[in-house]
Structure 1
Amino acid sequence: MVRVRSRAEDVVAANAEDVLRYLRRRAEDDDAADLLAETLTTAWRRAAMMPADPVEARMWLFGVAHRTLLNHQRGARRRLRLADRLRDVLATTGHAPPADSGVEVRDAVSRLDPDLAELVRLVHWEGFTLAQVAEVVGMPASTVRNRYQRAKQELREALQAPAASLRE
């Protein structure tokens, strides 16, 4: 095993700059460094499969880089298609409410204890039931119900306080 790792280190040291140039010619500079890291990680994990002959080992390493690049390109295409679908959905689903809509409620929620605020957000903004929230946050359902009730009471008090001060 030590000999395999030593051979892999030698092959990587001799070819890493060439592989990086190969990747830079085919991907953005920022992506090329990440792709090289992924290529070398894969090569290291599969070092036992690396041919003993230096020329064949170089070709094998470039093959790993090639497959890594193909995976990266497929992922980029999937992300673009997803972004296009998301734009289409957003274009057909109406517009967001005005920025000042519900500002008092958002402000009151933000002043809650962070754990309570998260429960309120999960229920009212994300549409989860209390049982689902319990699963998401990893708490017993009874604890979530009790904390949610406390959060609602604190919100009621926070929202009534400004109205009371306006009447005075």
Structure 2
Amino acid sequence: MRNRTDLALRLTEALSHNTPDLLRYLERRLNRDDAADALADLMTIGWRRANTLPAGPEQARMWLFGIARHVVANAARTERRQSNLAERLRETLRTTPAEVRSIDEDAEVRDAIARLAPDQAELVRLIHWEGFSIAEAGKILGISASTARTRYQRARADLKAALSLHGDTQIYARDNPRAIVAAAQSEQR
């Protein structure tokens, strides 16, 4: 127990003596907000790795700056990943055909789906907009495939009725967003 207490005291002392210098080091390499977060990360890592804290104050200082250097490198990698992801998303949005994007933008269909029971609405969205099969959508929602089929049939009938009130009997199918779902019409005959 004495060793652990001694270690905690040494780390606390090293951190209190070096925190201002560590923060300045981090602020020179990162923006101010990120530097504060990086300092918190550095302290967390320091406490996690406290058993490797060198004995002397100068060695402890170098040890803390070594951790700071790794925290800065991790922050730079994170920034690059986020930037690359944002660029890929921008590219996807630029190259996605307008017809596909318009599925979500069609107010009448959105409103009709919003009037469905929440479980039916989510089922319709998963099937028609996200491209899952009825069984897959059921699994995502935590219901059996047969329950999903039954709910989907009800949802389709409710949507057909709601959209026909507006003169629009189109229900958006996965492969052709503007196709009329013939199955919904034939089931009502």
The interval holding the TM-score normalised by the smaller chain is 0.7 to 0.9
Separation (CA, whole Å) in 2 of partners of 1:10 and 1:89:
51
Unaligned runs of 5+ in 2: 169-189
CA contact under 8 A between 2:104 and 2:110: conserved in structure 1?
no
Q: Provide the secondary structure at the position in 1 that maps to 2:116.
A: coil
CA contact under 8 A between 2:103 and 2:129: conserved in structure 1?
no
Separation (CA, whole Å) in 2 of partners of 1:42 and 1:134:
43
Q: Provide the secondary structure at the position in 1 that maps to 2:130.
A: coil
Match of 1:155 in 2: 159
Structure 1 range deviating more: 143-152 or 24-33: 143-152
* C-alpha distance 46-138 of structure 1, shift in aligned 2 (>3 A): farther
1:82 aligned partner, one-letter code:
L
Q: Does 2:6 correspond to 1:3? A: yes
Separation (CA, whole Å) in 1 of partners of 2:152 and 2:56:
66
Separation (CA, whole Å) in 2 of partners of 1:112 and 1:36:
49
Larger Rg: 2
Equivalent of residue 78 in structure 2, options 75, 79, 90: 75
Question: Displacement of 1:26 after TM fit?
Answer: 0.7
Unaligned runs of 5+ in 1: none
The CA deviation string for residues 25-59 of structure 1, in whole angstroms up to 9 with x for no partner, is: 11111211221121111111111112122221121
Question: Displacement of 1:139 after TM fit?
Answer: 3.3
Alignment of 1:2-151 (within 5 A): 2-95=5-98, 102-151=106-155
Identity %: 48
Question: Displacement of 1:126 after TM fit?
Answer: 0.9
Q: TM-score, normalised by structure 2?
A: 0.73
Separation (CA, whole Å) in 1 of partners of 2:132 and 2:115:
21
Separation (CA, whole Å) in 2 of partners of 1:17 and 1:109:
56
Question: Displacement of 1:99 after TM fit?
Answer: 9.1
Higher relative contact order (CA 8 A, sep 6+): 1
* C-alpha distance 38-114 of structure 1, shift in aligned 2 (>3 A): farther
